[in-house]
């Protein structure tokens, strides 16, 4: 496939995903039956060319056979909720002129071969067994993929979206934002976290994680990376918020505004 055809195919897939995840039926979508793996070099996943735009790489947490957390109070699995919200954030960022690259669209993910090449180009060691063959595009593989995009195109921000859960503590309700203390952009990421926390009504807890505790997606590569937990699937109030399309849209806008402001102020320094 040539690049334009591939881009059209990806755009169509993204539209289909948006349509299936934004309504109540999204909750019924079976993540196990509709995934596709790119099988050879010719069949790689396409992403848009930045053409001088700011690049934001969005990572919908989980996906494929990995549904993430699940709860009777949340409409859909964590994988479905993060994908639906990721697509809204993408839309808002694109309205503001950013080039948005997704690690996956919930339907197609890169092949093992492509991840091997990505690991090579990002200079990351990759253990083949961890993979994709089980139809799990793991956080480790998504991070490698993002690091190779950062190598090739540059990434102004990588943002992974998740929903948290905790047993026996239904009272815990909050946003959490994590970054790796060893990231070369750690100071600037700290500022972005504060700006996000302010936009999220100061209900966000910020973690500057040491290497042992940091999430894998925030540790691979040297581009600025954040992981944002959008609430707890074990808390009724957080679920009501996560289920609401009105909240999702306003959240996506707040995130996009804050991220774009941060990227431009960071680059002025």
Least Cβ distance, residue 23 to Zn ion (angstroms): 23
Residue 238 φ/ψ, nearest 5 degrees: -60, -40
The total number of residues written for the chain in this structure: 269
Residue 142 or 223: which CB sits closer to Zn ion? Answer: 142
Least Cβ distance, residue 95 to Zn ion (angstroms): 27
Mark the segment that binds Zn ion (CB under 5 A) among 68-76, 110-118, 131-139, 248-256. 68-76
Mark the segment that binds Zn ion (CB under 5 A) among 65-73, 137-145, 218-226, 247-255. 65-73
Q: Do 204 and 196 meet the contact criterion of CB atoms below 8 Å apart?
A: yes
Q: Which of 155, 150, 149, 145 is nearest to 55 (CA)?
A: 155
Measured torsion, CA atoms of residues 213, 84, 99, 102, in degrees rounded to the nearest 10: 50
Retrieve residue 48's tokens.
Answer: 């848009």
Residue 60 or 132: which CB sits closer to Zn ion? Answer: 60
Least Cβ distance, residue 215 to Zn ion (angstroms): 9
Least Cβ distance, residue 61 to Zn ion (angstroms): 4
Question: If binding is defined by CB under 5 A, does position 68 make contact with Zn ion?
Answer: yes
**Binding pattern to Zn ion, positions 138-167, x when CB under 5 A?**
------------------------x-----
User: What are the residues facing 265 on neighbouring strands?
Assistant: none
- Could you report how far apart the first and last alpha carbons of the chain are, in Å? 41
Least Cβ distance, residue 120 to Zn ion (angstroms): 27
* Rounded Cα–Cα distance for residues 145 and 143 (Å): 5
3-state DSSP call for residue 149? helix
Least Cβ distance, residue 218 to Zn ion (angstroms): 13
Mark the segment that binds Zn ion (CB under 5 A) among 66-74, 148-156, 177-185, 237-245. 66-74
Least Cβ distance, residue 70 to Zn ion (angstroms): 11
Pick from 26, 50, 61, 224: which binds Zn ion (CB under 5 A)? Answer: 61
Q: What is the DSSP-derived secondary structure letter of residue 62?
A: S
Q: Which of 251, 231, 262 is nearest to 92 (CA)?
A: 251
Residue 79 φ/ψ, nearest 5 degrees: -60, -40
**Binding pattern to Zn ion, positions 162-201, x when CB under 5 A?**
x---------------------------------------
Mark the segment that binds Zn ion (CB under 5 A) among 35-43, 57-65, 120-128, 196-204. 57-65
Residue 105 or 114: which CB sits closer to Zn ion? Answer: 105
* Rounded Cα–Cα distance for residues 137 and 146 (Å): 12
Residue 68 or 110: which CB sits closer to Zn ion? Answer: 68
Contacts of 128 (CB under 8 A, 6+ apart): 112, 116
* Rounded Cα–Cα distance for residues 101 and 94 (Å): 10
Binding stretches for Zn ion (CB under 5 A):
61, 68, 162
């Amino acid at each position: 496939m040539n690049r334009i055809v591939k881009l059209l195919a990806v755009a169509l897939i993204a539209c289909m995903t948006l349509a299936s995840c934004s309504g109540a039926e999204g909750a019924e979508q079976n993540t196990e039956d509709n995934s596709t793996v790119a099988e050879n070099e010719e069949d790689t996943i396409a992403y848009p060319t930045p053409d001088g735009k700011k690049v934001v790489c969005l990572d919908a947490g989980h996906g494929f056979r990995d549904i993430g957390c699940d709860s009777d109070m949340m409409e859909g699995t964590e994988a479905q909720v993060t994908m639906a919200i990721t697509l809204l954030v993408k839309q808002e960022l694109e309205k503001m002129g950013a080039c948005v690259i997704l690690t996956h669209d919930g339907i197609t993910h890169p092949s093992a071969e492509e991840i091997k090449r990505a690991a090579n180009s990002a200079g990351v060691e990759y253990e083949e067994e961890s993979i994709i063959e089980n139809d799990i595009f793991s956080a480790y593989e998504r991070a490698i993929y993002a690091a190779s995009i950062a190598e090739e195109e540059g990434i102004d921000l990588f943002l992974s979206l998740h929903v948290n859960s905790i047993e026996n503590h239904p009272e815990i309700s909050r946003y959490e934002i994590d970054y790796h203390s060893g990231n070369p952009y750690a100071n600037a990421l700290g500022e972005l976290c504060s700006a996000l926390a302010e936009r999220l009504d100061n209900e966000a807890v910020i973690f500057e994680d040491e290497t042992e505790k940091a999430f894998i997606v925030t540790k691979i590569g040297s581009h600025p990376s954040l992981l944002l937990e959008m609430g707890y699937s074990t808390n009724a109030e957080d679920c009501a918020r996560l289920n609401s399309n009105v909240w999702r849209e306003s959240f996506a806008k707040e995130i996009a505004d804050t991220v774009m402001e941060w990227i431009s102020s960071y680059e002025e320094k």
